[in-house]
Structure 1
Amino acid sequence: MIKKKKIVYGLSFLFCFCLIILQTAVYAAEAQKATKVPGAVAAVAAVPQAYVTTGFPQVVVVSGTNYEMGVQYGEQAAAAIVHNVALFKSRLYSKFGSDKVTKDMQVWDYYLKKYDPVYADWLRGIMEGCKRKGYAVTYLDLIALMVYPTQFWARPKAPYPAETRIASIGGLSAPSSQGEYHACTTFAAAGAKTPDGKPIHAITSMSPTETMDNIILLAFPKEGASFVSQTYAGRVNGNYAMNSKGFSWTMTAIMSDNPAWGMPPEVYFHYLAQMVGSSEEALSYLKSTPKGGVTGGFILTDASGNISAFEGTADKFHLSKPGERGESGQFIVQTNHLIHPSLKPLNPKWLPVIGTYARYDTIFQLLQEAAPGSVNFAFSKNFFASDDWYDAAKAVWNRNQPGIREVSNSHTSVSQGIFFPADLVAYLQTGTPSGIGLPAYATGEYVKIKLADGPKKVTDQADADAIALYWDARDSFQRDLNAKAPFLTAPIVADIRAKLDQAFVAYSIGMDRAAFAALMKDVKKQNSLWSEAMTQYAKAQLYAQMAKTALLKARAGTP
């Protein structure tokens, strides 16, 4: 009897002990879950780990409906999106106050939903994708992230338009200082200027340092065209893109002393990439929508070589073709000022401080003097990385002046794009064009992406391009090693070997991820794997080019 009682007591103790352990585990799990539930008290205190961008961009691959693509985007880039939301909101709140920012975002959103409701579906999806990763991001947070440059540079001083039915908040915003204005330089060329007569379309995107985070977005929508772009995470496209219809576009900010409420230019970034298939369709949309904020100077290019520039303010615009501004051939240039004589008086008096006239004259002069067939990828890459500028008034070149606003290799150059729309090929670069500047580990090199009708074909081509770049760099290096080239000192050899090793490590990981992607049946998981593969192939391309560049510099005796 005593023995049975001991057994019962022992089992009872064991049961109670297990129950306590189980409850503790449940409470711990609930507590952990609470830190990730949007709106939970614990979520307010939880601060994500620091996010650091580098010169090796993440590639985000999405497909499906607009909402589905948004969810995939949000899940794949959640950490970067949350970083950008916090960074941009904190600066907007500091400048305008939270109440005014909230109202302003409602106004910008009014125009987005009226003229591009598809974009709203993307944003709702991004919000959901971030939520699934444990981050609380609101819809208006994403609007603020999207329009950050326009809000910061060109918030209208006028009351909100009556059509929005949003009550204005008293007190005008302090005007932005000239030091806060930034810039872009873009051009397009075709015909005798390019090697094969096909169009080339290029841009350096210049904006505040806090916008330097870059992802490459590859989208395959059910509705509209597939497209490739580069942007800071959380936004659908930066101010340039190319789509599967062979249409590319770029936009530069056109400043005004009296910006208007209307559709912010960042909405055009999405619409022109996904919903437009030709220059004619783009022009129709640009003319039919009320332009707000910094409006813009758009260059539109299609696969046939049709090039045009649409420049204007909120209510005035002009369309130019090559030759109308004094071009000697089939090319056109746009920076950050209005060029047509009917629009010139609308340029703010302070514009020279941002270097827009010098940047325009510099690339115009280079294109004007360019030999037939010489405007190619190398021409564009070298121009963006140059610290030289042309003073048209004096007809004098100013050499080696880094850091000034007259050059495109600027402190504010956060990304570059070079498009070949007839071949559906994009070259995309993150950071300062020369590779010395921002972000950390800027490369000075470009990722090559060829658009196709699905992620697998694009990834397969990125694989082929990466390994071709690797073997080209390796064989060139091996040839000089075999020849016992005197310029190959021990430090240079070690540096090139390390870059080649990094390239092949990334290439190997890319192959691994692509293999699992090809076997995956779940589309969302498959796209995530394609994204990982593309990110690694991009890294392999960059390291291989860095190795080749280091070798060429050693041959030339330059650092």
Structure 2
Amino acid sequence: MNSYRIAVVILTAIILTTSSTVAFMSSSPATNYTNADSSTPPPSGFFPVVYISGTPYQMGYQYGLQAGKYMELSKDAVWGTVLSEYNNNVTFVMQELKIYNSYVKDNLTAINYSAIMQGMADGAQAAGYNVSYWDILLINYRVEFEFGLIPGLSDPANSANNQSSACTNLAVWGNATSNGELITGSNFDYMPGSSGSYQVLVIAYPENGNAFVSIGFAGTLFTNFGMNNKGVVIESNKAPNGRPQDVGYGISDFIMDPYALMVASNATEAKNIIVSLPKTNGINRLVVDTSGTAYAIESTASLLGIRTPVNGDYIITTNHFLNTTMMPAQVPWNPLAYYPASYYRYITAQKYIMMNYGNITPQTVMGIMSSTSYWNGSEWIPNSEWTGNTINRFAPWGGTLSSKVAIPAQGILYVCAGNPGYPLWGLLAPGQTGQYVKFVLWPSDPTPQTITENLQSEAYGELFQASKALYGIKQSDVPTYAQLSQQFANAESLYWESSHEMSLATLDYAQGNLNSALALYGNASTGFAEVQGIAEYLVSVSKNYVSPSSQLSAVNSSLSAAIGSTNSQLGSISSSLSSVSNLLSSMSSTLSTMSSTVSSIGDSLSSMSSTLSTVQSEAAQISSINSLVLATIVIAIIILVLEILVLIRRR
């Protein structure tokens, strides 16, 4: 049955492939799949560290030797997605890849980038994995293919994934930071999909070019962050491409940006390189160096706009344009209407910067990149991680796959694999811890050995802190201590394994076995990084830990306080009832007194009524007497008048 399926696959490939794709036949996705290593390990808790050095081809070869398994997993997944999206048309995909390949060969003249990709394929094959040059090229152009951003193929404005990449980038320096040094922050938000979590941390030492560090999908040198030893940082975000002319043939972001890091000695040189190269779709880039020179390069295949800082010593990019030159590519122009989450992340980063302006430290920036609250323009919306509007992204389509905070002048980089502060989303990697791991990259003697030794020192220091934290738990909660101490034991074992690999790497390097030495240094660095993450996680758990006895004590205290409060309230109620009783008794006495008073008033009124009757009787008698007297007086007057009249007549 297997032989039959293989024969069918080969026959199908022959039918679909023209003579121009014969070179591709030996590594077509179907053929690769049948020969692939069938094991599928989950993504590791921290990104595998890959050290590369030398010529472009040598660097690619070393990369392939160290990351071959991840590259094959990535290749299989990307081909599966692309063929599903383009109706299994291998011929079409190869036709487009050849066009893109010509742009890489013709435009990247300072570094032979094609040699890097060829070296990657050859190194992976030497390690036993079936990966071709065209596979590597496809992985580097995965956004163009997976997002449907192929020229003339579809309407780029309606690309289903235009808003599925939601990175947040920022830089602060000068008056904004506590000591004036440049600090950058970068979150890479993407779809884990079937391979998005298979990424590597690359530390490169080109024979001709700048040393740099970056994180990339397996098979690439970049996703959205890179820093070189000259203090130049490049960060990128997906951006709008609203018209057909905003999509074109050119250099992928995953190739253009590491190329600029290898060539440019300052931000202006990096900006000029990026501006000069043909673009494939809408991308925002933040470019900054230790002098505080900073640019936000907003571009599509046909438009270019550049922003510089205007409101202080900081610059931010998310997933919308702000330079009005870019208006035709972003419809509607208002970012709140175009992409609300991009708008909220931008103003949230800006709000945090202004709140801490003048006092910003690397820890402040880690706090910003870890934030699960957002500013909506008038108020804070706390604990909003599941809304999709926060800088630390949690969304059904994916989330934050990496978070980076850099201090370029010191060559220090903090890296968190997955969502910072929360290990149960992001990469969907069983071992992720949600902690930032510290890399010291550019000391006075920047070599894989010194970087690995610094990682060992940091791991040892974090183990010491974890041991102290766990000791406090041991005194009060033996079962919990036993669970956490097992994780500590795992970190101890990994520490010693990594220490041994570092010793072997030093021996191999001394004997001239460079490729083996770099691989061993990479394994040791990865192990020490994982130890750091585990130890930091144990410390964070310990800080939030409350022992059962403390919980019981807290419950008892709460109950005692509640009982005391209840008794106090009952006492108050009893006192109130006594007061009410006294008041009622007083009111009863008062009512009795009032009743007696009313009775007395009644008696008084009765007496007054009798007196009034007597007075009325006497008044009647007086009235009669008065009438008699008046009548007597009248009669007397009449008699007097008659006597006078008699006297008058007599005269």
Give TM-score, length-normalised by structure 2: 0.72
1:422 aligns with 2:409: yes
1:436 aligns with 2:424: yes
Distance 2:33 2:231 in 1: 46
1:113 aligns with 2:105: yes
Contact 1:510 1:536 in 2 (8 A): yes
1:332 aligns with 2:315: yes
| Counterpart secondary structure, 2:128 | coil
Deviation track 1:514-556 (CA, whole Å, cap 9, x = no partner) reads: 1111111211111111111111111111111111111122269
Match of 1:270 in 2: 258
1:194 aligns with 2:177: yes
| Alignment map for 1:130-169 (pairs within 5 Å) | 130-153=124-147, 155-158=149-152
1:289 aligns with 2:277: yes
Distance 2:544 2:414 in 1: 22
Match of 1:79 in 2: 69
Distance 1:152 1:481 in 2: 49
Change (3 A) 1:372 1:43: closer
Distance 2:134 2:107 in 1: 17
1:459 aligns with 2:447: no
Change (3 A) 1:269 1:283: closer
Distance 2:308 2:355 in 1: 19
Distance 1:319 1:150 in 2: 23
1:249 aligns with 2:242: no
For 2:370, the aligned partner's letter is A
Match of 2:353 in 1: 367
1:62 aligns with 2:52: yes
Deviation track 1:306-326 (CA, whole Å, cap 9, x = no partner) reads: 33322233333233222x2xx
Match of 2:301 in 1: 314
Match of 1:517 in 2: 505
Q: CA deviation at 1:175?
A: 4.6
Distance 2:406 2:209 in 1: 20
Distance 2:227 2:357 in 1: 27
Change (3 A) 1:110 1:405: farther
For 1:124, the aligned partner's letter is Q
Match of 1:177 in 2: 160
Contact 1:310 1:319 in 2 (8 A): yes
Matched residue count: 498
Contact 2:371 2:392 in 1 (8 A): yes
Q: CA deviation at 1:369?
A: 1.4
Q: CA deviation at 1:436?
A: 2.4
Distance 1:364 1:387 in 2: 15
Deviation track 1:164-194 (CA, whole Å, cap 9, x = no partner) reads: xxxxxxx889952257632110100012322
Contact 1:38 1:131 in 2 (8 A): no
For 1:396, the aligned partner's letter is E
Distance 1:283 1:76 in 2: 32
Q: CA deviation at 1:496?
A: 3.3
For 1:209, the aligned partner's letter is P
Match of 2:95 in 1: 103
Distance 2:27 2:295 in 1: 48
Match of 2:22 in 1: none
Q: CA deviation at 1:359?
A: 1.1
Unaligned 5+ runs, structure 1: 1-36, 160-170
Distance 2:47 2:159 in 1: 31
Q: CA deviation at 1:492?
A: 3.7
Change (3 A) 1:361 1:85: same
Match of 2:496 in 1: 508
Distance 2:120 2:278 in 1: 26
| Alignment map for 1:334-483 (pairs within 5 Å) | 334-349=317-332, 352-353=338-339, 355-373=341-359, 375-392=360-377, 395-410=378-393, 411-433=398-420, 434-438=422-426, 439-441=428-430, 442-452=432-442, 453-478=446-471, 480-481=472-473
Give TM-score, length-normalised by structure 1: 0.83
Greater CA deviation, 299-308 or 411-420? 299-308
Contact 1:337 1:357 in 2 (8 A): yes
RMSD (Å), alpha carbons: 2.6
Contact 2:373 2:382 in 1 (8 A): yes
